[in-house]
Chain A
Amino acid sequence: MRYPAQVFGITVSGPSRMSFCHTADRLRTGLMAFLLLILAACGQPAQVEIRALNRAIGPEPETLDPQLARTTQSHTVLRDLFEGLLTYSPDGKLVAGAAERWTVSDDGLTYSFWLRPEARWSNGETVVAQDFVYSFRRLVDPKTTAFYAETLVNVRNAAAIIAGDRPTESLGVTATDRFQLTIRLRQPTAYFASLLAQAATYPVNEKSVTALGETFARPGNLVSNGAYKLARWELGLIIALDRNEHYWNNAGTAIDTVRYHVTPVPSAELFRYRAGELDISSTVPTEAFAQMRAERPEELRVATFLSTYYYGFNLNHEELGSNPKLRQALSMAVDREALTEKVIGRGEQPAYSWVPPGVDNYEARQLSYAQMSAAEREATAKRLYAEAGYNEANPLHIELRYNTSETHQRIALAVQSMWRDVLGFDAVLINEEFKVLVANMRAMEITQIFRSSWNGDYNDAYAFLSIFESDNPSNMFGYRSEEYDSLLQRAAIQPNAERRRLYLEEAERVLLADHAVMPLYYYVSKHLVRSGIRGWQDNVLDYHYSQHLSFDPAR
């Protein structure tokens, strides 16, 4: 008894070994009971529901208030809920929406719209011209704090209203009749009509906004005029829409219920698609693209998209700003074909212009070396790099900033090695969180070369070219060119579409000749769309209204 080990040994090997088995048995029984308990809790089978369209949305939309919405995710849902004066057809053409027809005066300054008398809000009320007057005033009202207030900046007095210098009532938008709306502009704006299909210019119901204040856009409150109405919004999870029976073209809507699932992590979204929980994905992650192309070729939809992926130069940086030859050498040393085919490989097209293809009424200018062979390009890049005063003994020291993402990292590493191979210097790669990078880009103090992308809010070259204007707040390049500014200003006031186009094209030529930016590739939109879904058409805007989709009855 004094020898514990012995005692212990005896008990374990002796009769109580049996009782230990009891212990194990009991523990096992307890465990089983516990698991059964969990299973019992889980036991209820899922209810069989009417077939709903399950769409992935990406990160969660921040609001369903059309005037406050800022992100593409919000805009996607709003396109189903609301309808602007104009809207888009499944193939991305601008067509009549809440207005059945419209005219533009010869000087391009006055737009007249005739609303559909049969258009209704989801509460059954008639949609009238005054609704649009109210909503447009709300958009430019400083009190609304709308991110996209500038959408209407070319409407008469809008700029002064946004700046707080004039009352909202002075906005150049008037209801000349119950169903007739007149908009007066301060200068011709070729793309103005397309702005009236944007979420920021969707109408909101005045009575509901006035009565409910900022909670008007919530489930149970939101009154909308589109093909769908808001059924519920479980934050962080799902936004569910039901058919709006009062919609003027309700007969044209095939699917009764649409559910937008919040999918912040692309790889997790793909799992959900593959598990059958989603009908349409919001994207396809780079690392899984090849696999999806092999396994589900008929479900993979890749299409040109109005967006350019680029590396920008901060021209305030001394070496970059003072040395166009260096910028050209850096740009030429990048093998864009290798980048798009080998590094990313999702059908992206190499970019040799700033404005992407697919923009209406526009022929993008090309970088001077677009047609050169790879060997020619490398040789010229080397020569320019040397002429700019750099060589092996005196290599360039430069930082390349990009925001955290696997794709951006792969591209940055590839570009870094191309620069090393062709020009013989090592760029310093700096990886920053998105908001940090944006803040740095905007400050233009520590950035040198930075990654970013630009997508057009509307289908017009001006949507791309405007950010290089000297005073544009999105000009994060420090690019200042009088010639460029004056070309864009002349284009801006030019009512003749053909002449305007020439000004814009010339402006792009100037921009590219200055090597103020390195376009790398044009984005593509990437979705997985289950083959039982009809009506999906690829388009450059990547807009896919649920009202245009239907289920194949055979499936």
Chain B
Amino acid sequence: MQQRGALRFALTRLLSAMPTLFLIIVLAFMMMHAAPGGPFDEERAMPPETAANIARAYHLDEPLPQQFMRYFGALVQGDLGPSYRYPGYSVAELISGAMFLSLTLGALAMLCALVVGIAAGVVAALRKHTLIDRLVTGLAMMGISVPLFVIVPIFVLVFAVNLGWLPASWSGTDSRIRYLLPVIALALPQIAYVARLTRGSMIEIMNSDFIRTARAQGLDTLTIVRRHALRPALLPLLSYLGPAIAAVLTGSVVVEQILGIPGLGQLFVRGALNRDYTLVLGIVIFYATLVIALNLIVDIVYGFLDPRIRNR
């Protein structure tokens, strides 16, 4: 009975994600085409004949609804279309080429953020109002408020240009040491959030009745944290994972630009600046699907952990 409930819950969430996705596609399509300038506009104007030839070849001369139908028709068959900017490359190809790297960096950054953030949060909570606590809270505040486009260049200047420890860019070396800078940069703001969240909920839990009971039984703090406090304290983190993954994806746009990483973020920025309609739409759809899917997974996991949500 419970399993069927869970399945129904998952299916409902999946179906309700569909209209969201469709709306995103329509909006992204309209916004891209509403932005002035097209994929083939440069400072140098083309003669009208050449411009007409190009417009015809890419169906840009058709009315917008017709262009949308053409795009959507291909999309439901799994075709994201050709890139306007990179002749000879399909959008699917460009995305799949860049996807792996971005997802790897994102996953590593999330892992790093969870491990370091939870550890720091727990320590800070247990030593509430001490120097360590203030240090962690202060650093976390800084991690949240200093933007990546400030942090990353400083890191590059210090560790690559001045100290020469790390490469200044992705193509600077083939060694895996090039993962270090982007992962840390992407992880930093998340470490901060995770640490703050963990600290907050840990303090709350440590003050609750069942912990008091545990203490009364004479258990030491380590055992209490490990056996009783940590799991409930981390529950709020679970619901933060969705926004965190979205934040890592947005952050990658900045980090990839500065460090010259050939991932989705860089592709997205170039696509937008070049008005590569199909490429931008393709990446938007990919990101949207990813975020929706991850949120769905979080919801389902949450549902399993906390039946109150599932039954609502």
Binding site for B on A (CB under 8 A): 1, 4, 7-8, 11-12, 15-16, 19-20, 22-24, 26-27, 30-31, 34, 38, 41-47, 59-60, 62-63, 65, 68, 70-71, 142-143, 145-147, 149-150, 153, 159, 162-164, 214-218, 234-238, 259, 261-265, 267-268, 271-272, 274-277, 433-436, 438-440, 442, 452-454, 457, 472-474, 476
Contact = CB atoms under 8 A, between A and B. Distances in A.
Given A45-B175, A275-B161, A436-B35, A31 B273 contact: no
Contacts of B116: 31, 34
A63 B260 contact: no
A7 B212 contact: yes
B206 interface: yes
B267 interface: yes
28 contacts: A8-B212, A15-B220, A23-B123, A23-B222, A26-B222, A27-B119, A31-B116, A38-B180, A44-B175, A60-B270, A62-B85, A63-B86, A70-B42, A142-B49, A153-B47, A235-B86, A236-B262, A277-B169, A434-B37, A435-B35, A435-B41, A435-B273, A438-B37, A438-B43, A439-B37, A457-B44, A473-B47, A474-B45
Interface in B125-176: 126-127, 153, 156-157, 160-161, 164, 167-176
Nearest to B118: A27
A284 B153 CA distance: 16
Contact of A11 (B50, B160, B221): B221
Given A23-B122, A43-B176, A476-B45, 15 more contacts: A31-B115, A47-B174, A142-B53, A145-B57, A145-B58, A149-B53, A159-B49, A236-B261, A259-B171, A261-B260, A274-B168, A277-B167, A440-B36, A473-B45, A473-B46
Interface in B256-312: 257-263, 266-267, 269-270, 273-275
Contacts of A45: 175
Nearest to A214: B88
A204 to B, nearest CB: 13
Given A7-B216, A272-B172, A264 B257 contact: yes
Contacts of B66: none
B217 to A, nearest CB: 10
A42 B175 CA distance: 6
B8 interface: no
B179 A41 contact: yes
Contact of B122 (A1, A27, A275, A436): A27
B87 A435 contact: no
Contacts of B58: 145
A275 B167 contact: yes
A11 B216 CA distance: 10
Contact of A150 (B50, B168, B172, B212): B50
Contacts of A454: 43
B53 A164 contact: yes
Given A145-B54, A435-B37, A271 B161 contact: yes
B225 interface: yes
A145 B112 CA distance: 48
Interface string B181-207: 001000000000000000000000011
A159 to B, nearest CB: 8
Nearest to A161: B49
B177 interface: yes
Contact of A271 (B51, B153, B206): B153
Chain B interface mostly: helix
A268 B156 contact: yes
Interface residues of B, number: 81
Nearest to A261: B171
A517 B58 CA distance: 35
B100 interface: no
Given A8-B206, A215-B88, A237-B262, A438 B50 contact: no
Contacts of A7: 212, 215-216
B42 A214 contact: no
B273 A46 contact: no
Interface of B: 35-38, 40-51, 53-54, 57-58, 85-89, 94, 97-98, 112, 115-116, 119, 122-123, 126-127, 153, 156-157, 160-161, 164, 167-180, 183, 206-207, 212, 215-216, 220-223, 225, 257-263, 266-267, 269-270, 273-275
A20 B168 contact: no
A433 B89 CA distance: 26
A267 B37 contact: no
Nearest to B97: A235
- Closest 3 interchain pairs by CB? A435-B37, A236-B262, A473-B45
Contact of B273 (A4, A20, A276, A434): A434
B50 A436 contact: no
A150 B169 CA distance: 39
A439 B41 contact: yes
A269 to B, nearest CB: 8
A30 B119 contact: yes
A13 B160 CA distance: 45
A95 to B, nearest CB: 26
Contacts of B183: 38
A512 B97 CA distance: 51
Given A20-B221, A218-B88, A435 B257 contact: no
B119 A65 contact: no
A235 B42 CA distance: 22
Given A19-B220, A44-B175, A474-B45, A59 B270 contact: yes
Given A235-B98, A275-B168, A163 B35 contact: no
Contact of A62 (B87, B157, B164, B220): B87
B53 A145 contact: yes
A31 B111 CA distance: 12
Contacts of A19: 220-223
B220 A442 contact: no
A271 B86 contact: no
Nearest to B267: A236
A262 B161 CA distance: 19
A550 B34 CA distance: 49
A22 B88 CA distance: 60
A236 B207 CA distance: 52
Contacts of B97: 235
B172 A277 contact: yes
A20 B222 contact: yes
Given A31-B119, A59-B270, A433-B273, A263 B260 contact: yes
Contacts of A234: 262
Contacts of B35: 435-436
A65 to B, nearest CB: 6
A4 B161 CA distance: 54
A70 B216 CA distance: 76
Contacts of B170: 237
Nearest to B276: A62
A276 B163 CA distance: 12
B86 A275 contact: no
A162 B40 CA distance: 17
Contacts of A38: 112, 179-180, 183
A23 B221 contact: yes
Given A236-B262, A236-B267, A264-B270, A30 B42 contact: no
B8 to A, nearest CB: 40
